[in-house]
Structure formats: C-alpha cells, structure tokens
Amino acid sequence: MENLYCLRCNRELESGNKSVAVYMFTQTVGIRPRQKSAAKRICFCPQCAVSLAMGPPPEGALNLAAWEMIRELVSSDPALNEAAWEALRGITGLLSGGGENGARRAVGGYLEF
C-alpha cells in the first residue's frame, strides 16, 4: 500500500494512522462524451486538520470549500480533536521524556495559537 503524506506538514501517514482524507475528482457535465479525471486523495494529519479548522478562512474558492468541510468534521464530533490531542501527547512525550505535566502544558500551548 502506498504511503501518504499530510499535505500541510508533510508528515508521513502510515496505513492505519488516523487522518482526514479529502477526495477530489472532476467530470464534465452535459458534454458528451462525459470525461472524468482520476480521483485524487489528499490527506491531513489530525493535528493539521484541527489547526486548519480553528484557523482563519483560507484564500481561494476550492481551499474555502475544503476548509468548510474540515470544519464540519472537527465541530461535529470530538473524536478528531482527540486524535490530534493523542498524537501531540505522543510527540511531546518523546521530547520531554514522557512527563505527564510536560505533556499537559504543551497541549495547552498548542490550543493557544
């Protein structure tokens, strides 16, 4: 299976990793023969998905459409936030040597920006 990368931070997303996928394809409408592009899968790691959703609206109509969809996911259920939280705890755990207080401080900092 191909390895995917987060479009925003370029983190490698191994199969089984939690992520948000945006599927995109184009097709002609009302034109014969109907033409379809290949479907493209764009991935975001949970941290980037949450960070994008919390951030200001991007420029560009397509970016805005994707942003609105990601916001819908992030706001409809805390599971994605929790996935971002877990991943970040893992990273800060590695950096700080796994201290419980260190992890909690770092998570607070993450939510501040």
List of residues contacting Zn ion (CB under 5 A): 6, 8-9, 11, 45, 48
DSSP of 18-76, one letter per residue?
A: --EEEEE--B-SS-SS--BPPPEEEEE-HHHHHHHHHSPPPSSHHHHHHHHHHHHHHHH
Q: At residue 44, what are phi and psi to the nearest 5 degrees? A: -130, 140
Residue with smaller CB distance to Zn ion, 83 or 103:
83
Residue 8 or 18 having the CB closest to Zn ion: 8
Is the CB of 45 or the CB of 103 nearer to Zn ion?
45
Q: Closest separation between CB of residue 43 and Zn ion, Å? A: 8
Distance of closest approach, residue 87 Cβ to Zn ion, in angstroms: 9
Query: How far apart are CB 6 and Zn ion at their closest, in Å?
Result: 3
